[in-house]
């Protein structure tokens, strides 16, 4: 029995549905708030966002975001782009070596999971 079949049999249909709704990054790294925020920025690189928008779109609490936000800024994962009124807007720092590795990792994970799914579909078609 192939490894993907073993894994597939371990998940209930509800779990499979839940996994399919997640990005590949979150399937691998989980649903911790920091993973949700990084995943949000990886999927939305082209725009800048306020902390309120980041918390809302990453589906985490505003106070939870503030608990680790300074670390993300200090690591250079995000950059402050501008200020609108009292709101500061942030964007993924595409020039950061760390962010470049995160983007590559996200792409590699997506490719691997997609290939596993394609192989699984081929197996079903041949049976």
Q: Which domain holds residue 12?
A: 3-126
CB contact at 8 A, 82 and 89: yes
pLDDT in tens, 2-46: 444 444 444 433 344 444 578 999 999 999 999 999 999 999 999
Q: Which residue has the tokens 């985490």?
A: 60
pLDDT score recorded for residue 20? 55
d(CA 13, CA 45): 32
CATH number at residue 79: 1.10.10.10
pLDDT of residue 8: 43
For the chain, what is the domain count? Answer: 1
Q: What is the DSSP letter of 66?
A: H
43, 45, 51, 52: CA torsion to nearest 10: -50
Q: How confident is the model at residue 58 (pLDDT cuts 50, 70, 90)?
A: very high
94: Cβ–Cβ under 8 A, 6 or more apart, which residues?
45, 100
Q: Residue 119's pLDDT band (boundaries 50, 70, 90)?
A: confident
Reduced to 3 states (helix: H, G, I; strand: E, B; else coil), residue 91 is strand
What values do phi and psi take at 103, rounded to 5? -65, -45
What's the token pair of residue 95?
């020039």
Q: What is the CA 45 to chain-centroid distance, rounded?
A: 12
């Amino acid at each position: 029995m192939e490894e993907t079949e073993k894994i597939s049999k371990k998940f209930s249909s509800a779990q499979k549905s839940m996994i399919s709704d997640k990005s590949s990054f979150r399937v691998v790294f989980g649903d911790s708030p920091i993973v949700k925020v990084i995943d949000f920025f990886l999927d939305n690189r082209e725009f800048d966002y306020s902390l309120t928008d980041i918390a809302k779109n990453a589906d985490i609490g505003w106070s939870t975001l503030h608990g680790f936000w300074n670390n993300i800024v200090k690591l250079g994962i995000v950059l402050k782009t501008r200020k609108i009124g009292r709101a500061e807007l942030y964007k993924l720092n595409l020039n950061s070596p760390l962010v470049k590795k995160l983007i590559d990792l996200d792409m590699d994970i997506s490719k691997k999971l997609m290939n596993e799914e394609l192989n699984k579909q081929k197996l079903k078609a041949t049976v």
